Structure 1
Amino acid sequence: MKHGKRYTEAAKLVDRSQYYDVADAVGVIKKTANAKFDETVELHVRTGADGRHADQQIRGAVVLPHGTGKTVRILVFAKGPKEDEAKAAGADFVGGQELIPKIQNEGWLDFDVVVATPDMMGVVGRLGKVLGPKGLMPNPKSGTVTMDLTKAIADIKAGKVEYRLDKTNIIHCPVGKASFTEEQLRENLQALLDALNKAKPSSLKGAYMKSAVLTSTMGPGVKLNTAKIAN
């Protein structure tokens, strides 16, 4: 694959043979993220888990101390007093049954996170084929199926991110923006790593984090020292 001049220059700043600790990796990412827009910094972890087994599923959420740097649009499925609570808490869109055709037939997807009260999951379930593949389906493990809408919305607006295994047992998760300070990125990354370590399946044998790479949207990957970040 042929890379552009900007990427090639940025890649020279990364020692491909080296495994970096968190602080050094963040420092390198800050230097290599030089696109004309504010790049997202992401962590990609290849795990030793096998997501085909229920006891090795890894899924959860963590509130990053400095947020994600992104304005998140929240859709809440609720009714009655809970609808009023969601609106008061700052949800961008609130509704119920009437939203089904808008999403299913009109392709409306102007939201980043979907939250629902448990009693609305029967309605939301009908959108499984649309929301599921996009990772938007509400889930109790990530705190998006809940009666405490005020807390859920506040956490998401504050920088809550969801992590989960993809089909190849890799976790992809944002940790902030390239414009963040090194300290902010370090603290966000550490919060995510702590959450991932706590989520390690007890049935997992062998290495948990087989490899971990920190990258920006347009920049080269920086390999992390998994011996230091996994416990």
Structure 2
Amino acid sequence: MKRGKRYQEAAKLRDKTNLYDAPEAVAIVKKAASAKFDETIEAHFKMGLDGRHADQQIRGAVVLPNGTGKKVRVLVFAKGDKAEEAVAAGAEFVGAEELIPKIQNEGWFEFDKVVATPNMMSVVGRLGRVLGPKGLMPNPKAGTVTMDVAKAVQDLKAGKIEYRLDKTNIIHVPIGKASFTEEQLNENFQTLIDAIIKAKPAAAKGQYIRSATLTSTMGPGVKLNPARF
């Protein structure tokens, strides 16, 4: 695959054979993010797990101390007092059964996260086929199925991100924007890595984090030294 001139110049900033400590990697990735828009900085972890086994699955959520730099639009499935709480907390969209056809038939997806009270999950379950593949299905482990809808909405808007093992046993997570300071990105990365280490399944064997890479939307990947975690 032929890379553009900007990418090739950015790639010269890092040594492909080297494994960097997180602060060094953050500095390189930030410098390499030279696109005309504010690139997202992402972390990718190849895990020593087999997600086909339930006892080796990993899924959770963590609030990044400096947020993600992205405005998050939240949809809440709730009724009565809980619906009012969601509106007061800043949720952009709040509703119940009436939202089903809008999402299912009209393909309405003008939201980034979905929260639901437990009693609404029978309704939300009907949207599993459309929300699931987009990673939008509310989940208790991610704190998005809860009676405390106000806290859920506030956390999501403050920078709460979800991490989970994909089919190739990799975790992909945004940790901020190129416009963030190195200190902000380092704090976010450290918070994320602490959460992932804490979530290590008892059934995990061998090296837990096999490899880790930091990258920006358009920039080259910078490999981290997993032995440092």
CA separation in 2, counterparts of 1:24 and 1:13? Answer: 11
Q: What's the CA shift string for 1:42-78, capped at 9, x where partnerless?
A: 0000101111111111000000000000000000000
* Residue of structure 2 equivalent to 1:85: 85
* Letter in structure 2 aligned against 1:31: K
Aligned partner of residue 61 in structure 1, secondary structure: strand
* Residue of structure 2 equivalent to 1:62: 62
* Residue of structure 2 equivalent to 1:186: 186
* Residue of structure 2 equivalent to 1:198: 198
Aligned partner of residue 190 in structure 1, secondary structure: helix
Q: TM-score, normalised by structure 1?
A: 0.98
Q: Which runs of 5+ in 1 are unaligned?
A: none
Question: Could you tell me how far 1:208 is from its partner in structure 2?
Answer: 0.7
Matched, 1:133 2:133: yes
Matching of residues 86-101 of structure 1 within 5 Å: 86-101=86-101
* Letter in structure 2 aligned against 1:111: F
Report how many aligned residue pairs link the two structures.
229
* Letter in structure 2 aligned against 1:96: A
CA separation in 2, counterparts of 1:68 and 1:223? Answer: 21
CA separation in 1, counterparts of 2:22 and 2:14? Answer: 14
* Residue of structure 2 equivalent to 1:115: 115
Matching of residues 1-231 of structure 1 within 5 Å: 1-229=1-229
Aligned partner of residue 27 in structure 2, secondary structure: helix
Q: Which runs of 5+ in 2 are unaligned?
A: none
Aligned partner of residue 154 in structure 1, secondary structure: helix
CA separation in 2, counterparts of 1:50 and 1:121? Answer: 29
* Letter in structure 1 aligned against 2:140: P
* Letter in structure 2 aligned against 1:167: K
Aligned partner of residue 162 in structure 1, secondary structure: strand
What's the Cα RMSD here? 0.5
Aligned partner of residue 29 in structure 1, secondary structure: helix
* Letter in structure 2 aligned against 1:138: P
Question: Could you tell me how far 1:4 is from its partner in structure 2?
Answer: 0.3
Q: What's the CA shift string for 1:11-41, capped at 9, x where partnerless?
A: 0111001000011000101110000000000
CA separation in 1, counterparts of 2:149 and 2:134? Answer: 22
CA separation in 1, counterparts of 2:154 and 2:80? Answer: 20
Q: Percent identity?
A: 73
Q: TM-score, normalised by structure 2?
A: 0.99
CA separation in 1, counterparts of 2:91 and 2:214? Answer: 31
